[in-house]
Amino acid sequence: MNRPLLSRLLFGFDVGTVSMFVIREVLETTFGVVGPPVLFQSVAIGGVALVLVAVFRRWKPSHVIGSLGMTLVGAVIALIVLFSRMSA
């Protein structure tokens, strides 16, 4: 796997993780909105941010799709960590 693709996939993973932790927390504490719509909104905001970065840096379409997939993976892993903390 070439280095640019790997770095872009890791960037997508980071965007998904950060959006799930930070944006979800801001939406819940600032606006008082909870539930599944907040989860989808936080991932959508992270995805839009990723696409904007990809457009301005002129990524290949395959890199953008891979990064968006890794955004979803990062968000799911962040959800697993969040729910594991809640039950403990």
Domain ranges of the chain: 3-87
- What mean pLDDT, rounded, does the chain reach? 84
> Which pLDDT band, with edges at 50, 70 and 90, does 48 fall under?
very high
pLDDT at 51: 92
CA–CA distance, 80 with 82 (Å, rounded to integer): 5
Backbone angles phi, psi at 28, to 5 degrees: -75, -45
Tokens of 37: 């719509």
Tokens of 29: 């504490």
Tokens of 22: 């930070």
pLDDT at 88: 53
C-beta separation of 67 from 54 below 8 A: yes
Read off the pLDDT of residues 8-34 as tens digits, 9 standing for 90 and up: 888 888 888 888 888 888 877 887 777
Count of all residues that appear for the chain in the document: 88
The yes-or-no verdict on residue 56 having pLDDT over 90 is: yes
CA–CA distance, 83 with 72 (Å, rounded to integer): 16
Q: Give the predicted TM-score (pTM) of the model.
A: 0.81
Q: Span 76-83, mean pLDDT? A: 83
pLDDT at 41: 85
